[in-house]
Amino acid sequence: MSRGKARKPTPEFERDRPNEWPQMRVGKSVCIRDHDNGRRSVTEFYGELGRFYNLRHAYDRAHELKDPYLAPHGFFRRLAHGNTGHAREFLEKFGPLVLSAGKRFTPGCHVGVSLEQFWTAHSRFCLVTNLWESRDDRARLAAALLEVYRHRQDRSPFEELPIGTKFGPPPSTNHQLYRFPWEEVDQEPEEWLHRAGLADLRNCAFYLIHLELNLHMRSRHIVWQRSWEPPKEGWRVVIWTESLWSAMWEFWGCDTASLSWRRCPHCQRLFYPKRRDQFYCKPRQQALASKREYARKLRARQKHGKKLQKRQGPRNRKEPQQ
Ligand SMILES: [Zn+2]
């Protein structure tokens, strides 16, 4: 193909529209006064919608390269809460969390993103994912549950319902708020959390995660899509992505059922382990940790051996020969 020749547009049926999402070219940030809340001011980013990327390809690539930061949900989890530079980087890489149907497929369309909404969504995502990440550590899990309890009502305008909203079986729209175990027995949360075993904490945390995943699935639609693999005949069922926000919950939910990210104790980076016994992101750190673990076990064995020898000593001592 000669240079400068216009690229042939992708035929409409080959476009994966249910999974396409636009990036955002952030132009300027504006600090505006929130009149409803007196003196408080909020920052908004303004810019235009940029190139489309495929959400599912980003997710697959993150797993292929074992790097959660290549997918939107992993990158979102990594952001330092309230850091404006981080928010800008996320929007330019993965686009706004929500878009109206009219704007989504209009490249160059002007959009504004409220950072307050963005960070409220971020804190909600971190509260719930932290439950899962703390599932093997009793103290951490108790603290994570307490955080959810205290902040469950924090919501952004595109998140109408609080964490722990229970719905009846579809298509029912009746819903009620989950009651935490300490509310059921009329105890202080700290007291219940202090006494409860790990199994009870996990039950409570997993139930909340389950409710949250289903909550973000409620507005999703299932559509038929024409398959583009040869011979390009037939159709298949796909879930329509109506927002990046709901897609991130879906991806994270899929991770919990297959391969969850771990946080490296050395550098705090998230990574997808290649093996079940990989706890560090780099092979060198993993090897050093294995050596340390081996040395620790060896020391413990030697210590145990010495203790045993000491205890058996008088019995095994040989009698002096006459
Ligand atoms: Zn590391």
Instruction: Dump pLDDT digits (tens) for 255-311.
Output: 999 889 999 999 999 999 998 888 999 988 888 888 888 888 888 888 888 888 888
Beta-strand runs (E) in the chain? 20-33, 41-54, 110-114, 165-167, 175-177, 221-226, 235-240, 262-263, 270-271
pLDDT for residue 269 = 94
Output the CA 272–ligand 1 centroid distance in Å.
12
Strands laid side by side in the 41-54 sheet: 20-33, 41-54, 110-114
Single-letter code of the amino acid located at 51: R
Output the CA 24–ligand 1 centroid distance in Å.
30
Output the CA 287–ligand 1 centroid distance in Å.
12
Question: Mean pLDDT over residues 19-31, rounded?
Answer: 92
| 200: phi then psi, degrees, rounded to nearest 5 | -70, -40
Q: How far apart are CA 143 and CA 129, in angstroms?
A: 13
Name the pLDDT band for 42 (thresholds 50, 70, 90): confident
Name the pLDDT band for 156 (thresholds 50, 70, 90): low
Crossing angle for the helix pair 244-257 and 55-64, to the nearest 10 degrees: 30
pLDDT over threshold 90, residue 55: yes
Output the CA 201–ligand 1 centroid distance in Å.
28
pLDDT over threshold 50, residue 33: yes
Output the CA 263–ligand 1 centroid distance in Å.
8
What mean pLDDT, rounded, does the chain reach?
89
Closest CA to 97 of 122, 123, 74: 122
Return the top range by mean pLDDT from 5-14, 80-89, 152-161, 222-231: 80-89
Cis peptide before 231 (omega within 30 of 0): yes
Output the CA 320–ligand 1 centroid distance in Å.
59
Determine contact, residues 141/72, Cβ cutoff 8 Å: no
Output the CA 271–ligand 1 centroid distance in Å.
8
Output the CA 292–ligand 1 centroid distance in Å.
16
pLDDT for residue 172 = 87
| DSSP reduced 3-state for 26 | strand
Output the CA 282–ligand 1 centroid distance in Å.
6
Name the pLDDT band for 1 (thresholds 50, 70, 90): very low
DSSP assignment, residue 134?
T
**Higher pLDDT among residues 235 and 201, named by residue:** 201
Determine contact, residues 205/215, Cβ cutoff 8 Å: no
The mean-pLDDT minimum among 58-62, 146-150, 234-238, 304-308 falls in 304-308
pLDDT for residue 67 = 96
Closest CA to 87 of 57, 110, 116: 116
pLDDT over threshold 50, residue 322: no
Output the CA 276–ligand 1 centroid distance in Å.
16
Closest CA to 108 of 25, 27, 30: 25
Q: How far apart are CA 72 and CA 78, in angstroms?
A: 10
Output the CA 285–ligand 1 centroid distance in Å.
7
Name the pLDDT band for 143 (thresholds 50, 70, 90): very high
pLDDT over threshold 70, residue 11: no
Which pTM was predicted? 0.84
Output the CA 53–ligand 1 centroid distance in Å.
29
Determine contact, residues 205/164, Cβ cutoff 8 Å: no
Output the CA 132–ligand 1 centroid distance in Å.
20
Q: Give residue for tokens 């490296």.
A: 264
The mean-pLDDT minimum among 104-108, 197-201, 261-265 falls in 104-108
Output the CA 284–ligand 1 centroid distance in Å.
9
Name the pLDDT band for 178 (thresholds 50, 70, 90): very high
Crossing angle for the helix pair 115-133 and 138-151, to the nearest 10 degrees: 150
Question: Mean pLDDT over residues 214-222, rounded?
Answer: 91
Question: What are the extents of the domains in the chain?
Answer: 14-260
pLDDT for residue 227 = 81
Structure tokens of 129? 């994912």
CA angle 259, 260, 265 (to 5 degrees): 130
